[in-house]
Each structure stands twice: as structure tokens, then as C-alpha cells.
Amino acid sequence: MSGHSKWSKIKHKKSAEDEKKAKNFSKLSKLITLAAREGGQKKETNSQLRIAIEKAKFFNLPQEKIERAIKRGTGEEKSVKLESALLEVFGPDNIFFLIDVVTDNKKRSISEIRKIVESFGAKIANRGVLWHFEKKGIILIKVNSKNKEKIELLLIDLGVDDFFEKNNNLKIYLSPQKMDNVKKGLFKNKIEIENSSIELVSKEKVEIDNKEAKKRVKEFFEALENHEDVQGIYSNFEE
């Protein structure tokens, strides 16, 4: 019986992981389709598509899925109409959230997300949240003790806004307009980019000392993240 119980747990865990992977792949495909629809299929002239593909590759979305998503965006392959929305939310414990949504049914998605929001005692706002955030380019690269100082000096020369190290990763913040030039500078110096994106970053982070409150905010974040139409979640919560 104990062996059977162990197998059931493994099977359940794998099923949950497969479901999460499929959901993530679906989100990435939608992002590529929307980018291709709005700016065309050429990565050279469509920075939004270029970044979406980089993100997809970082999360191991297969090349054939990337190509099909592009074709859906350009109309070469049949596709549902996708819409985007940015929801401003007064979250639990006075934390601000912005929820980036890509969906084929905006009314349904917003209704479902509203239920999640209200179940945590939070509420969707008409306005008042967005101005707490600013658009930033974010680049993630690997560093080690040997190359860290050299890379940091290079980043200063390239004019990035800021960077932080965590678990041998360097997270770089910069103006979106500088994204291509900084990437070229890193490539020229043979520094591999792990991931890059354009995100909404809070101007001022808020720390939560209370353990229960911190847990509540994280659970809220996870509940939103599990929704298939939620592409990105931005908050002023200091983790």
C-alpha cells in the first residue's frame, strides 16, 4: 500500500507539473500571436515580437509552437481574436497590483479575475494604481565571482538604470529605449542573456513585516498567476 501511495503522489505531482507547463505554453503562444498581429512577423522591426520569442525560448516553448503562434498573428493560420487589458487592483494589505491580461473573451476573463480579486478582500480600481509604476526594460544574465566586476563596469558604461545580484543572476533595469543597444553591448562582450522583458516596475516598494499578511499577498499572487489569461502581474510588494 505504501508503494501504491508513493506512486499516486508522483503521478499527481507530474500531472500538476504538466498542467502548469501546458498553461504556461498557452500564455507564451498568446503573447507571440498578439505581438505578431500588432507589429508583423519580422523580429528585426518588431521589438515586441522579439522579446516575446526570447521569453518563450527561455521557458523552452518548442520552435514549432513559436512559428505557429506567429502564423496565427499574421493570419496565415486560423486564430481567435485576442485582446489585451491592464487591470488596476487595490490588493490585500494595501498592496497595489497591475494585472496584464491577454484573452479571446475580455468580458469573461475580467469577470473571473474579479472573483479571484474579491475572494481576497481586494478590488479592481478604475484608476489610481498605474501612476505608482513605470515601464522598464529588464535583462537577466548569469554572473560569477570572476566576471561580476567586469560586467558591472560594462553596464555602467552602457547607461543602465540599476542592477541587483541574486543567486548568481544579475537583474538589470534600464529604459526600454536602451534595450537594443544594451543587448548589443552585452553580445559584443560575449555575455549571454538569460531573459529579457519590458515590465511595469513600481516606483517605490512596500515591505510587509507581518508573516500572515505576507503569506496572504503571496497566495493572492499565485491565484492570479494560475489564471490562463493572466500574462503578467506587477506589484509594489517587496519580497
Judge whether residue 18 has pLDDT over 60. Answer: no
Instruction: Based on the fold, state whether residues 213 and 195 are members of the same structural domain.
Output: no
For residue 238, the model assigns a pLDDT of 81
Instruction: Based on the fold, state whether residues 169 and 66 are members of the same structural domain.
Output: no
Instruction: Based on the fold, state whether residues 165 and 189 are members of the same structural domain.
Output: yes
Instruction: Based on the fold, state whether residues 110 and 208 are members of the same structural domain.
Output: yes
Query: In which domain, by residue range, is 164 found?
Result: 132-202
DSSP for residue 77: S
For residue 15, the model assigns a pLDDT of 54
The reported pTM is 0.80
* CATH assignment of the domain containing 156: 3.30.70.980
Return the bridge partners of 193, or none: 141
**Cα angle 143-59-193, degrees, rounded to a multiple of 5:** 30
23 Cβ neighbours under 8 A, 6+ residues apart: 226, 228
For residue 97, the model assigns a pLDDT of 96
Judge whether residue 19 has pLDDT over 80. Answer: no
Judge whether residue 60 has pLDDT over 60. Answer: yes
Average confidence score pLDDT of the chain:
88
Cell numbers for 162, please give them: 540599476
Q: How many domains does the chain have?
A: 3
For residue 8, the model assigns a pLDDT of 53
Domain end: 52, 74, 96, which one? 74
Instruction: Based on the fold, state whether residues 27 and 140 are members of the same structural domain.
Output: no
Instruction: Based on the fold, state whether residues 117 and 232 are members of the same structural domain.
Output: yes
Judge whether residue 2 has pLDDT over 50. Answer: no
**Chain segment 74-96, per-residue pLDDT in tens:** 888 877 788 899 999 999 888 99
Q: d(Cα 70, Cα 173) in Å, to the nearest integer? A: 28
Reported as half-sphere exposure (CB side, CA atoms, 13 A), residue 161 has a value of 16
Judge whether residue 113 has pLDDT over 70. Answer: yes
